[in-house]
Chains A and B, each alone.
Chain A
Amino acid sequence: DAGVTQSPTHLIKTRGQQVTLRCSPKSGHDTVSWYQQALGQGPQFIFQYYEEEERQRGNFPDRFSGHQFPNYSSELNVNALLLGDSALYLCASSLDPGSYEQYFGPGTRLTVT
């Protein structure tokens, strides 16, 4: 049983560019949450997707957007990249939006230069 997978592993982008990160949830999970983990910090909640809709959102600007596909996989898009967007982006999946049991992927390390 594959756990949560994320791609790519690492990514380097230039300020002002756009980036798309991808996540496949654990088998049987239909809910995906995204977190941003800046260097030396704990993860911060970006948003959650369930039934192909954004269900809840943290304190992040509209430059951060997402999508969930019918197979429950998800994408995180960040437009107009800033140096401060450099971070590890974690995806977590769960059985439902209210579940406390989240399974995390290994993350995508984004570097903005």
Chain B
Amino acid sequence: AQTVTQSQPEMSVQEAETVTLSCTYDTSENNYYLFWYKQPPSRQMILVIRQEAYKQQNATENRFSVNFQKAAKSFSLKISDSQLGDTAMYFCAFMKLPNTGNQFYFGTGTSLTVIP
């Protein structure tokens, strides 16, 4: 079974500063994807960034980047130059490969507040 743990229920950051959200996971699989999703108050889950486990290079999407440590089973999200629109719940998620049913395993989320 796969488990995803987010140990920071709530975090806050000043606008324009940098914040890092933590995620650890447990799996016996060797091939998988990891994701960070954002869920704003509108409730619609939006994909922020994706990391393939076979890739050593950390994924980057504009102001969002990850620190993927496969051996440590750690997958943190760094948000640079935080903006008010980044205020949301952030969920870390795991999907094993090959995937015959795109079953995602989600963490419990981190509520991020960007302070003006």
Contacts and interface: CB of A to CB of B under 8 A. Distances in A.
A-B complex is real: yes
Interface of A: 31, 33, 35, 40-45, 48, 55-56, 58, 88, 90, 92, 94, 97-102, 104-107
A30 to B, nearest CB: 12
B84 interface: no
Given A56-B103, A101-B47, A106-B42, 17 more contacts: A33-B101, A33-B102, A42-B4, A45-B104, A48-B102, A55-B100, A58-B103, A88-B43, A92-B45, A98-B98, A98-B102, A100-B33, A100-B102, A102-B104, A104-B45, A104-B46, A106-B43
Contacts, number: 68
Which of B104, B108, B109 has the largest count of A CB atoms less than 10 A from its CB?
Answer: B104
A100 B95 contact: yes
B99 A48 contact: no
Contact of A42 (B98, B99, B107): B107
B75 interface: no
Nearest to B44: A106
B91 interface: yes
Interface string B68-100: 000000000000000000000001010100111
B25 interface: no
Nearest to A38: B108
B101 A55 contact: yes
B102 A94 contact: yes
Which of B33, B99, B103 has the largest count of A CB atoms less than 10 A from its CB?
Answer: B103
B37 to A, nearest CB: 8
A77 B61 CA distance: 38
